Structure 1
Amino acid sequence: MYKRVFQIASLIILPITLVWITWVTPVSALTEDQKIFSESWRIINRAYIDESFNHQNWWSIREKWMRQPFKNREETYQAIEKMLATLDDPFTRLLRPDQYRSLQVNTSGELMGVGLQIALDSETGGLTVIAPLEGSPAEQAGIQPRDRILKIDGLPTANLTLDESAARMRGPIGSRVTLTVLRDGNTVAEDLVLIRDRIALNPVTAELRSDLGETPLGYIRLSQFSANATEEVAHAIQALEKKGAKAYILDLRNNPGGLLQSGIEIARLWLDEGTIVYTVNRQGVLGSFEAVGSALTHAPLVVLVNPGTASASEILAGALHDNHRAVLVGEKTFGKGLIQSLFDLSDGSGLAVTVAKYETPNHTDINKLGIMPDRVIPAESLLLRSQVATASDQQYQAALELLSSQFMIAKN
């Protein structure tokens, strides 16, 4: 069994105890399906953030299921899912082989579907939108962060796992899918028909602008923390520096996160020194990631955030804010402060496991709370893609005002 890192922080593997040896059935006596189940149980036993396992005897959970013969692999998967459900953690879940491959593609390459980043609400259990991907059918249909997806082609999502919901939204280019969407704050749901498409995962757009008058402005929009995001942001900053940029706006709105390491490395592009993020594992051991080396620019920076700014985006925003490197403008962020790792199982499936939580450099725990920006500017209406970072975008205009005032003070 190999461990694959995905949004991983510090992870401590506990030593095997003599008690474990005396309780476990010899591996040679296990069927292949029992081995898969046992692998899953051991991963949770060693890595899961909550050492109480949601206040239950994890050993007895194993003994209960290992007494039951598994007739086939699907029955084994169902047993694993029932075992994981006792943790009451929607982010810790089984990924069947096709789901596992799809999740790996989601961090590099391209997708076929509607382009939604989704999660299960930790309080209601409902399927909730983190953010639509930029340029996707979901964004074009007007789906927004925190919208609830009640049905997919008429099938209630309450009866589906997170990965089953994602699989039903994926499909061939040109095919249709109907999503029943309840807008956050509304009481009446709406059926939206979306046409699936190819969704390129190009995470960065950047350009030099004249919106600050005589002061050249570098605008960088980061839509996802994919495998190539750090390199693309670095190239963007370097190119804008050569063109004479004297101030920057980093747009993290509707960025649902991705690879934790990308968030850390991108923070280092803006910081000379300082803590980027603290991680806390199951033993309460505090780890940290620090800025090392020299920032690519020291020009004034404003970061745009909103309810679709989640996970690795919140790590980046928190690092820049708490180190006094940037001012945050927009709306409160999503509030996902848990870190998952991916673990391979021997049959090609995998487990996504919550292994740690993170805190901002000021030791702010944002899980379920989010980060409140320095200057709160509510989004008055849904912006079309063509209206983002224009005169119609009040959050962007507020960022320009802040930068203008900084340069005015410096000039005086």
Structure 2
Amino acid sequence: MVITRNGLVLGATAVTLTTIAVTSLGIHSQGQALFKESPKELVDEVWQIVQRQYVDGTFNKLDWQAVRREYLSKSYTNKQEAYKSIREMLKKLDDPYTRFMDPEEFKNMQVDTSGELIGIGITISQDEKTKQLVVIAPIEDTPAFKAGILAKDKILKIDGKSTKGMDTTQAVSLIRGEPNTTVSLTVDRNGQQKDFQIKRARIEIHPVKYSQKQTPAGNTGYIRLNQFSANAAKEMQSAIKDLESKKVAGYVLDLRGNPGGLLFASVDIARMFINSGTIVSTIPRQGQAEKEVANGRALTNKPVVVLVDKGSASASEILSGALQDNKRAVIVGTQTFGKGLVQSVRPLDDGSGLAVTIARYHTPSGRDINKHGIDPDVKVDLTDAQKQELWLRDRDKLATLADPQFAKAVEVLGKEIAGKGTTRAEK
């Protein structure tokens, strides 16, 4: 399997609730779609794509041939009937990341290269065991973020409607909307219900923010990466080059709350820090791993400490796993989200689209982090109260010594600098 820049995404990031979902790039050429006139042809085309590409050759222990017979035996008078059957068919796979999008939904998955979004700025998934809708992470500085939505919040109601039995596609259709309109979310957070009224807005997102900081570790480069969107690698390259020109002694790379995004973006950014070695292995149905490796053109060899938390998912886990396994960085924070799946997203001729889980990924050492995540080298937990204080009520403390996770990262970085970059993971 060849990893192409226009074909692969990380299914772990699920759905970003904006009218343009930055975590779901990767569109195959329109010419690959075969649907012409018959709704039944669309049903069969979707079945065929899953038959050829789905990561699990047992189709999660489902008789996929019998499914085809069942749904092609039906008569369809219009596309809406076909859409309903396709969703039913895919639901049998018990995979929330393999899903069908009608033309409107698929349009909302397209990425505008300007980075402007319309929505509340939240990324959700569906728990594979409980089927509950779960927040992966709010995107920083968006309405959901400012309202106080946190990673791992379970969405119980949307505008008063129960989400029981609801998939991510249905949730998106209820949550998205026009700017300046309001949506209400009821979430379960550690057994307590909380209600949020969130106003939708236009959101301009720049994935990289950085600064030069004077810390106890010395002249430190701080880089916060919010998501792995189409322009993330370019912005990261500019940040590193600028900080290198300022002679920083080391870096703190902050991936906390980063829900992931494009596979190629995570690989490109890893290459900026890793000069040689494997970055990630993707394993398709056939089982033969395809490796992405460093290209000998790292932009810095300075010590690196990476900050992660339970909102760090998919592409964040690829990057942190690559840096950890290659002994290139020390990981500080809490266990990450734990999603290790790759999707292909492709259009169909009628304007609808299909996302199919086509591969798993492993870290360079061969770890499958799906459902587990990356374990930090140095664990630093924050209470919910500390998170609210840092990320909402007093943002000025974030990435300062008043931020316990950042303070520990600086302490570790100081040791790394003193040790001339030899990574020593603390337990």
Q: Work out whether the TM-score is over 0.5.
A: yes
1:193 matched to which residue of 2? 197
User: Shift of the alpha carbon at 1:6?
Assistant: 3.1
Greater displacement, 300-309 / 166-175: 166-175
Residues 8-407 of structure 1 correspond to what in structure 2 (within 5 A)?
32-105=38-111, 109-183=115-189, 185-186=190-191, 188-212=192-216, 215-380=218-383, 381-382=386-387, 383-384=390-391, 385-407=395-417
Q: Is the 8 A contact 1:107 1:225 kept in 2?
A: no
Amino acid at match of 2:211: E
CA distance in structure 1 between the partners assigned to 2:347 and 2:72 by the alignment: 21
Amino acid at match of 2:166: L
Amino acid at match of 1:392: A
Match of 2:9 among 7, 10, 20: 7
CA distance in structure 2 between the partners assigned to 1:4 and 1:401 by the alignment: 40
What SS class does the counterpart of residue 241 from structure 1 fall into? helix
Q: For 1:79-103, what per-residue CA distance to the aligned partner results, in whole angstroms no more than 9, with x for missing partners?
A: 0011101111011000111211212
What SS class does the counterpart of residue 400 from structure 2 fall into? coil
TM-score (norm 1): 0.90
CA distance in structure 1 between the partners assigned to 2:244 and 2:6 by the alignment: 36
Q: For 1:44-94, what per-residue CA distance to the aligned partner results, in whole angstroms no more than 9, with x for missing partners?
A: 000001111122222221111111111211110110011101111011000
Greater displacement, 335-344 / 51-60: 51-60
What SS class does the counterpart of residue 158 from structure 1 fall into? coil
User: Closer, same or farther in 2 for the Cα pair 1:136/1:230, shift >3 Å?
Assistant: same
What SS class does the counterpart of residue 56 from structure 2 fall into? coil
CA distance in structure 2 between the partners assigned to 1:159 and 1:55 by the alignment: 21
Q: Is the 8 A contact 2:10 2:261 kept in 1?
A: no
CA distance in structure 1 between the partners assigned to 2:113 and 2:240 by the alignment: 22
1:24 matched to which residue of 2? none
Greater displacement, 56-65 / 297-306: 56-65
Amino acid at match of 2:400: T
Amino acid at match of 1:264: V
Q: For 1:95-122, what per-residue CA distance to the aligned partner results, in whole angstroms no more than 9, with x for missing partners?
A: 1112112122278622211110000011
User: Shift of the alpha carbon at 1:410?
Assistant: 4.8
2:19 matched to which residue of 1? none
CA distance in structure 2 between the partners assigned to 1:6 and 1:113 by the alignment: 24
CA distance in structure 1 between the partners assigned to 2:335 and 2:285 by the alignment: 28
Q: Is the 8 A contact 1:377 1:394 kept in 2?
A: yes
1:23 matched to which residue of 2? none
CA distance in structure 2 between the partners assigned to 1:85 and 1:106 by the alignment: 29
User: Shift of the alpha carbon at 1:189?
Assistant: 0.9
User: Closer, same or farther in 2 for the Cα pair 1:4/1:60, shift >3 Å?
Assistant: farther
What SS class does the counterpart of residue 295 from structure 1 fall into? coil
Identity of aligned pairs, percent?
A: 44
Q: Is the 8 A contact 2:10 2:341 kept in 1?
A: no
Q: Is the 8 A contact 1:329 1:373 kept in 2?
A: yes
CA distance in structure 1 between the partners assigned to 2:225 and 2:338 by the alignment: 18
Q: Is the 8 A contact 1:343 1:350 kept in 2?
A: yes
Q: Is the 8 A contact 2:208 2:224 kept in 1?
A: yes
Q: Is the 8 A contact 1:8 1:261 kept in 2?
A: no
CA distance in structure 1 between the partners assigned to 2:416 and 2:40 by the alignment: 63
Amino acid at match of 2:397: Q
1:19 matched to which residue of 2? none
Q: Is the 8 A contact 2:156 2:164 kept in 1?
A: yes
Q: Is the 8 A contact 1:303 1:328 kept in 2?
A: yes
1:21 matched to which residue of 2? none
Count residues in correspondence.
Answer: 388
User: Closer, same or farther in 2 for the Cα pair 1:158/1:110, shift >3 Å?
Assistant: farther
Greater displacement, 241-250 / 52-61: 52-61
Greater displacement, 95-104 / 383-392: 383-392
CA distance in structure 2 between the partners assigned to 1:152 and 1:229 by the alignment: 31
Q: For 1:226-268, what per-residue CA distance to the aligned partner results, in whole angstroms no more than 9, with x for missing partners?
A: 0000000000000111111111000000000000110011000
CA distance in structure 1 between the partners assigned to 2:420 and 2:290 by the alignment: 38
Q: For 1:253-295, what per-residue CA distance to the aligned partner results, in whole angstroms no more than 9, with x for missing partners?
A: 0000000110011000111110000111112111111001221
Amino acid at match of 1:221: R
1:22 matched to which residue of 2? none
Q: For 1:25-58, what per-residue CA distance to the aligned partner results, in whole angstroms no more than 9, with x for missing partners?
A: xx99x95201111110110000001111122222
Greater displacement, 231-240 / 62-71: 62-71
TM-score (norm 2): 0.87
Q: Is the 8 A contact 1:181 1:190 kept in 2?
A: yes
Runs of 4+ in structure 1 off by over 6 angstroms are: none
CA distance in structure 1 between the partners assigned to 2:419 and 2:242 by the alignment: 27
Larger Rg: 1
